[in-house]
Chains A and B, each alone.
Chain A
Amino acid sequence: MSKKSYSHPDISETAITSDLHVKGDIASDNDVWIDGHIEGGVSTHGIVTLGQNARVEGDITARIVRINGHVEGNVEAGESLTCHAAAVVQGDITTRDVRVDSGAVINGRLTTFTDEGQNTGEE
């Protein structure tokens, strides 16, 4: 048995590390951290976070989405979306509140909406 020390995610979080490759859809009620490769969609009522090594080939649906990796698919964040400097999104984004850091790349339509569901802007 290994005696190395490990830092563990919160018990309820799903964590896909950089050495893992997933095929199929991940549906969760909890937060999802991704730093690996996923060929499929990701949906949760919680937070989805993509690290620098993350590559998601599918749609992402969550309350809050934080991206610092690659996404080839549409992203829908009910509350907010943040694209950090290393983010690359090839797909449409729909969210209420968006923040895009310098260096992030978005190739797709960006749609924001209000609580009433009205579109407030597109790029």
Chain B
Amino acid sequence: MYYYIVNPNAGNGTFADIQHKLKSTLHGLGIDGEFAKTLQQKDARTITRSALQRGIKTIVVAGGDKTVNEVVAAVQESGKQSVSIGILPLGNHNTLASYLGITDWHHACHVLAARRLQSFNLIHINDHSFIHSCHIEPKSTSDTSQLLAEIDGSHKLRGEVAFSRVSNQKLHNVYLPNQLLLRLYPHQDRSSWWSRIFGSAGGVSSPAQLHARVAILEFSSEHTATIDGRTLHNTLFRIRLSETPLRLITARAEQPDLESETG
């Protein structure tokens, strides 16, 4: 059975406008199920825990990035690897759905019915976790950003960066394995360094790019990490991939690493 967790406030109340069409579409596709609505922030996490205790195996989040992240975090914390997560993108920000190739709620219904599963590892940063991306920049724009980074314990890197982004490279390209993708953006406008190598016209900056399973970023001043609307302030960010992956229902057709199954 599919268990739908709905944030009725997502996307300025989108669910209220589409719920009859949505439920009819889900019924037509044979994937109707139980609906639970959130009433306030962090309800999605509580509802997910309760659903998991009841043995629910497929949870579909109808909402935006914040609601998705609450559900994803609760599933991860439960340690239940057999649970699958789907998304009905109803929020103002639907970044993860977009990464998974899901364009809108109607498309999402067909994606849920097709039930193509792929595994993705969460990313832990200090005591928090997220699934798609994190933006790190100086808390004060006047601060300099000297960075000392340790990558996989094998090499250290230092330099000045304007801001950094962390994501799972598999969300960008499902052919690639789960791995941290670190992008370090330079301060000044600089021509792209490969255009300098080959002498073509530049004018666009290029970030440094590194891959890792574990990275420690230490900045010379306090920085703010923004994760799905939440913010962390620190000078030190310990970043790693989760040990166990989550199963997401995706529209991506390329070489799914888990076989489709019925739920």
Pick out which of these stretches binds chain A: B27-35, B52-60, B200-208: B200-208
Pair count A-B, CB < 8 A: 107
Interface residues of B in 185-241 (CB under 8 A from A): 185-187, 189-190, 192-194, 196-197, 204-211
Contact, CB under 8 Å: A2 / B193: no
Which single residue of chain A is at the shortest CB-CB distance from B159?
A20
Contact A24 B206 (CB under 8 A): no
Q: A12-B169, A14-B210, A15-B208 are in contact. Are A25 and B154 (CB under 8 A)?
A: yes
Tell me the bound Cα distance from A26 to B196 in angstroms.
Answer: 23
A86 → chain B, closest Cβ, in Å? 9
Smallest CB–CB gap between A67 and chain B, Å? 10
A8 on the interface (CB 8 Å rule)? Answer: yes
Q: Does B4 contact A (CB under 8 A)?
A: no
Q: Quick check: A51 and B196 within 8 Å, CB to CB?
A: yes
CB <8 Å contact, B154 and A9: no
- List, in ascending order, chain B residues with CB within 8 A of A21's CB: 157-159
Residues of chain A with a CB closer than 8 A to B185's CB = 2, 6
A15 to B205, Cβ gap below 8 A?
no
How many Å lie between the Cα of A49 and that of B196 in the bound state?
A: 12
Question: A36 within 8 Å of B by Cβ?
Answer: yes
Among the interface residues A11, A23, A24, A51, which one has the most CB atoms of the partner chain B within 10 A? A11
Contact partner of A24 (CB less than 8 A), chosen from B154, B173, B176, is: B154
**Cβ of B172 under 8 Å from chain A:** yes
* Interface 9-residue window, one of A27-35, A92-100, A101-109, A112-120: A27-35
Smallest CB gap from B208: residue in A: A17
Bound CA–CA A26/B93 (angstroms): 36
Count contacts on B: residues with CB < 8 A to the other chain. 37
- Report the Cα distance A59→B187, complex, angstroms: 30
Bound complex: CA A33 to CA B209 (Å)? 9
How far is the CB of B185 from the nearest CB of chain A, in Å? 7
B172 adjacent to A11 (CB under 8 Å): yes
- Which label, helix, strand, loop or mixed, suits the secondary structure of the A interface? loop
Mask, B131-173, CB within 8 Å of A = 1, is: 0000101000000000000000011111111110000010011
Complex CA gap A5/B158 in Å reads 23
Give the distance to chain A from B198, nearest Cβ to Cβ, in Å: 9
A123 within 8 A of B: no
Q: Which of under 10, 10 to 19, 20 to 34, or 35 or more describes the interface residues of A?
A: 35 or more
| Cα of A8 to Cα of B169 in the assembled complex, Å | 13
**Quick one: which of B189, B206, B210 contacts A8, CB cutoff 8 A?**
B206
Query: In the complex, what residues of B have CB within 8 A of residue A4's CB?
Result: 189, 205
B183 interface hit (Cβ, 8 Å): yes
Q: Smallest distance from the beta carbon of B145 to chain A beta carbons, Å?
A: 11
Contact with B along A46-71 (1 / 0, CB 8 A): 00010111000000000000001000
Whether a CB of chain A sits under 8 angstroms from the CB of B22 is no
- Known A-B contacts A27-B154, A35-B193; A11 and B181 likewise in contact (beta carbons under 8 Å): yes
Distance of A14 Cα from B161 Cα, bound (Å): 17
Check A1/B135 contact, CB under 8 A, given A6-B207, A15-B208, A17-B206: yes
**Contact assessment for A33 and B193 in the assembled complex, using a CB-CB cutoff below 8 Å:** yes
Q: Please, which residue of chain A has its CB at the minimum distance from the CB of B186? A: A19
Is the C-beta of A40 less than 8 angstroms from some C-beta in chain B? yes
In the bound complex, residues from chain A placing their C-beta under 8 Å from that of B186 are: 17, 19
Which residues of A approach B to under 8 Å, CB–CB? 1-2, 4-9, 11-28, 30, 33, 35-36, 40, 49, 51-53, 68
Known: A9-B194, A15-B206, A24-B156. 11 other contacts (CB 8 A): A1-B135, A6-B185, A7-B206, A14-B210, A17-B208, A20-B158, A20-B159, A23-B155, A26-B154, A33-B194, A53-B193
